[in-house]
Amino acid sequence: MADIQTIFQETIKFAAEKHGSQKVKGSKIPYVVHLTNVAMEIFMAARKTHGFDLGYALQLALLHDTIEDTETTRQELELVFGKDISEGVWALTGDPKLLKEYRIPDCLAKIRRLPREVGAVKLADRITNLQAPPKSWSKSHIRDYLYDAQQILQALKGSNDFLEKRLEAKIEEYGKYLKVSRSESLKV
C-alpha cells in the first residue's frame, strides 16, 4: 500500500488533468481548489475518527466529480484506481438520467450501501460547497441548495460525527443568504 502522500499526489494529478480548465461555479478559481478543500475536510475527519480509511476517502474526495463533470467513465476509474474507488465515485455522482429532484435521493441511497468513508466525502463536499452562493442564484435556488444540504445531513447521520457537526454549522451559517437585508426590503 502506498503512503498517503503518494496516494494524494497521484490522485490529484489525475483529477487535475481530468478537470482541466474547469472553474469553481461563479468564480475564476481553478476547480482543483474545490477538490483539495474536500480533501482537507477528509484529512481533518480522519484525525477525529477511529478506524477511518484515509487513503480510500482521500481518493474519493479528489475524484468525486470526475464522472459527473468530466469525460471520465466508471470503467476508466476502475482501471486506474480499482473497483472500490470506481463504485464510491459512482455513488457520489448524480445520475444524469434521473430528473433533478431524484438525483440526490438516488445518490444518498447508493452511498448508504457503501463504507462510511463514502458518506464522509459527500458530507465534506457539501461543507465546502456551502460558501457564498454565486450572485446569479435566486433566493429560490439558494433555498433549494440549503434544503439539499439538510437532506444530505439527515440521510448520512452516522457516517462521520465530526463532519456532521461541521455541516450542521455550515447549514446554519448558509441560512443568512436567505435573509432579506433591510435595504433590499425597502426596495420592494
**CA 176, 131, 139, 144 torsion: positive or negative?**
negative
Dmax (CA) of the chain: 61
Question: Exposed, middle or buried: residue 148 (CB in 10 Å: 0-12, 13-18, 19+)?
Answer: middle
Does the annotation mark 184 as catalytic?
no
**How many angstroms separate the CA atoms of 150 and 39, rounded?**
21
Task: List the domain range (segments joined by +) for residue 46.
Answer: 4-187
When pLDDT is averaged across residues 93-97 and rounded to a whole number, the result is 90
Q: Please give the average per-residue pLDDT across 39-67, as a whole number.
A: 97
Joined grid coordinates for residue 155: 440521510
Inter-residue contact 111 to 125 (CB < 8 Å): no
Selected catalytic residue, list 10, 53, 68, 95: 68
Please indicate whether residue 65 is annotated as part of the active site: no
> pLDDT category, 101, cuts 50, 70, 90?
confident
* Domain of residue 25, CATH code: 1.10.3210.10
Q: What is the pLDDT of residue 1?
A: 64
Among 3, 17, 41, 69, which one carries the catalytic annotation?
69
| Number of domains within the chain | 1
Cα four-point dihedral sign 186, 146, 104, 71: positive
